[in-house]
Copies of this chain bind each other. A is one copy, B any other.
Amino acid sequence: MSQLEAATSAFKALVGSDYVITQACALAAYETATFYTDQRVPVVVLPASTEEVRGVVHIANRYKIPIYPVSRGCNWGLGSRVPVSTDNCIVDLKRMNAIVDFDEQLGYITVEPGVSFRQVAEFLQNENSKLFLAMIGGPADSSLIGNALERGDAVGPLGEKAKYCCGIEAVLPTGEVINSGNEAFDNSLTRRLSKYGLGPDLDALFYQSNFAIVTRMTFWLAQKPEHFQVAVFGVRNKEELHRVTVSMRRLQQQGVIKEASYVLWNIYRFFSAQFQYPWDEGGKLKSSPDKLLEHLPRVWRDIRWIGIVGLYSASAAHARADKKMVLKALKGKTSRLFVIDLLKARFAHALAGPLNKITGMNITNAINTLYFNSVFLGHPQRVTAMYWRKRMAIPSDLDPNRDGCGLYWICVSLPFDCASITRLAEIVEEGSLRHNLEPQYMFWAANPWSLKSFIIIMYDREIDGEDQNAFNCYNLLCAQLHHAGFTPNRLGIQSMKSVAPDQQPYIDFIQRMKRLLDPNDILAPGRYDFRHRWRL
């Protein structure tokens, strides 16, 4: 009996045969991402508790089998559920989906890794809560813990998840369970209310790392605003972009725009979020991306970027003051500027028919997405953009892995200034067009100091040669962005082998930590450990 067979038997004895997957077709789904991968997954085990996770870790050590945890596996564009290296057993945590604790008054929720953004949103709705959880732009079925541990971002108050959570329960690769922050004190009144505990902050080691399997975490929740408004505007050229960027940074410095409440999309990204590619007859590409823009609703046709700002105000007077400052900051510097409040949103709903005709857009949808069921207020969205380049109709049950949706995300940070924005735009536009792909990117302002940019490559995996073309484009963009100083803040599985900090002592430090914590190298080998620069 091989080591793998022995481990599989042990997994079955631990969690029951029903929760160990070994059938080829079921495993194939775990091996499929939104881009080409060749990693094989020999077995998937689905533990139901922290104790079972410990058992899995012990088995992995006993048989020297690498294991790779996924929470809900919705890491689309960055690797889905596929491990960084081949022949890892996947530990799928989706059965651990309990909401462990919730406090309306103090404003927190404690969850297991299988709990999704959608589940929390529905839970809060059922509780008639005055709180909400900032929603990710990606799939609402994503794991809250998985997203936070990747330092993922959500829209609106407390959107920078890693800053507004605490108290990690983690199973170390050697099987010990540790509770970080004030959870390390048995009777602490603030175990779910304080970011830091006493002494060094061990929590921080479990973000973007392969040092532990996180099995529980607490997230703080935002208050629904008394008044909510959303401002939308178009930017036509670099001059406008410069003036807008200065204004938006200033408004964020002043606190008029809150953390994580401003996004700027380029026009192609805006397009792909709402439509599928307008194929020529016979499913052919348009001759050039410029022609594509002719298919935009006329109202947006001279626009290169679209900005959206969520405004959260404590009273009607605050809402008026906020609106006034935003209008003053943007007027004359942008085009198609409008601010939607409750009254206007209702009005637009009532007049949807004629407005649809004038704008060429589905106004009811737009108003719902921006206002009534706004992602800015924590409402789960149906994200379909990954079907942009597909010839098929968008299915009701979205599964980009299964449906051959090609998707790469590139996540980088940049200073909150216009020079950086335009340099990034140039690189992405030139590189994407050279590969006959629409340049798609957006910016997200967590704070007034730096922006995060999400650059997206979308294609159809079922077309011959497209996987290779997209990979070439991805590599070119990564190399040029890195060369220009746009540092990645999150990696897809394929980049774990090609990107690393420059400083060797930093990498050595991580290497020493990994050896200490995981002497048998069983946990997610290669994940954020910059292993191509060193050997265990």
Contact = CB atoms under 8 A, between A and B. Distances in A.
State the copy count for this chain.
2
A318 interface: yes
A449 B190 CA distance: 9
A182 B413 contact: yes
Interface stretch (A173-181, A399-407, A429-437): A173-181
Contact of A314 (B220, B256, B502, B509): B256
A278 interface: no
Contacts of A487: 182, 185, 188-191, 194, 197-198
A300 interface: no
A513 to B, nearest CB: 7
Contact of A202 (B191, B194, B254, B506): B506
Interface string A182-217: 101111111101111111111111111101000000
A353 interface: no
A508 B317 CA distance: 54
A208 B199 contact: yes
Contacts of A190: 413-415, 450, 487
Contacts of A203: 204
Contacts of A315: 321, 324-325
B499 A198 contact: yes
Contact of A417 (B105, B317, B321, B503): B105
Contacts of A490: 198
A502 B449 contact: no
Contact of A528 (B182, B193, B199, B502): B199
A486 interface: yes
A484 to B, nearest CB: 8
Contacts of A163: 163, 195
Contacts of A486: 189
B193 A449 contact: yes
A395 interface: no
A282 interface: no
A258 B151 CA distance: 24
Contacts of A191: 487
A337 to B, nearest CB: 19
A207 B203 CA distance: 12
Given A317-B321, A324-B317, A449-B106, A528 B198 contact: yes
A360 interface: no
Interface in A289-318: 312, 314-315, 317-318
A485 B256 CA distance: 37
